Amino acid sequence: MNLRRTSLIAVPYFWLGCLFLIPFLIVFKISLSDAALSIPPYTPKLELSEGWAGVRDMFSQFDFENFEFLATDDLYWKSYLSSVQIALISTFMCLLVGFPMAYGMARAPQVWQPTLMLMVILPFWTSFLIRVYSLIGILSQEGMLNQFLTWIGVISEPLTILNTNIAVYIGIVYTYLPFMILPIYATLIKLDGSLLEAAEDLGCSRTEAFWRITVPLSKAGIIAGCFLVFIPALGEFVIPSLLGGSETLMIGKVLYEEFFSNRDWPVASAVAVILLLILIVPIVLYQRNEQRLIEAEQ
């Protein structure tokens, strides 16, 4: 029995080790290297092929100069702060839009719920890049949004939406909205309607019953949805690159430029290591929340 349990647990740990731990160690090794005009464009300080002699040489020249450079250059810490800000605001916007949609799906007749679920996950049937590129045609000055607003008389001149932070928010909310809707819907669908009826019988209005009963009982779905949106949005690269302007600062965009434009792999690896350390915090909080919910159900 213990052997079977160990073998079941070993499979995902082996998978994480191969696809997460080993790549992370490689990136961390590059972050401690020196940039060089070579292929690959860095000089490693650790040469495993030299055995223990290479390990001793590494410790003799061990330094964190690339990490120190990130702390002294305003571009990087401003990019981290801007990414956190954009991810938090986008998560809040997804919650404002996603909760009413999930609530409406949960309260809809049961025969309509599969169709509504299909409409939520339907964008996943299309390539992520195609969906982002389609927003360029919608948000540009000659795009559908400006044409529609002009047609109904809301504006007289086209708005400048593309290549701004507003376009980035729209892109993130549009892309990650299903990740907010689905966990909240999964929580609301389990809500016992008799609790709301009992609250109304005890004198609560529908609005008061919603805030006292529905929202607290859907907290698990809200927390899960917020984490599922915030974590990928923090390191987003494609959306700010295609929809954001030159003033849009996100660490994923900076990371790409360091790797492929500047070809400074050590600094880019240091940026990636710090980004991963920042992401570990919400990931650990999410896992603890899930473990707490499982223990509460048992």
69-108 per-position pLDDT tens digit: 888 888 899 999 999 999 999 999 999 999 999 999 998 9
Mean pLDDT, residues 264-292 taken together: 83
Mean pLDDT, residues 190-200 taken together: 79
What is the model's pLDDT at position 297?
Answer: 66
CA distance 80 to 210: 37
Q: Which domain holds residue 149?
A: 67-297
Mean pLDDT, residues 62-68 taken together: 78
Does 148 reside within a domain?
yes
Residue 172 has pLDDT above 90, yes or no: yes
CB 168 within 8 A of CB 240: yes
Question: Is residue 62 very low, low, confident or very high in pLDDT (cuts 50, 70, 90)?
Answer: low
Domain at 140, CATH number: 1.10.3720.10
Does 41 reside within a domain?
no
For residue 190, give both structure tokens: 């389990």
Does 49 reside within a domain?
no
Does 3 reside within a domain?
no
Helix (H, G, I), strand (E, B) or coil at 34: strand
Residue 175 has pLDDT above 90, yes or no: yes
Instruction: Give 128 or 293, the one with higher predicted confidence.
Output: 128
Residue 148 has pLDDT above 70, yes or no: yes
pTM, to two decimals: 0.85
CB 283 within 8 A of CB 210: no
pLDDT tens for residues 251-262? 988 888 888 888
What rounded mean pLDDT belongs to the chain?
85
- Return the CA Rg of the chain: 24
Does 51 reside within a domain?
no
Does 2 reside within a domain?
no
What is the model's pLDDT at position 230?
Answer: 93
Mean pLDDT, residues 107-134 taken together: 90
Query: How many domains is the chain partitioned into structurally?
Result: 1
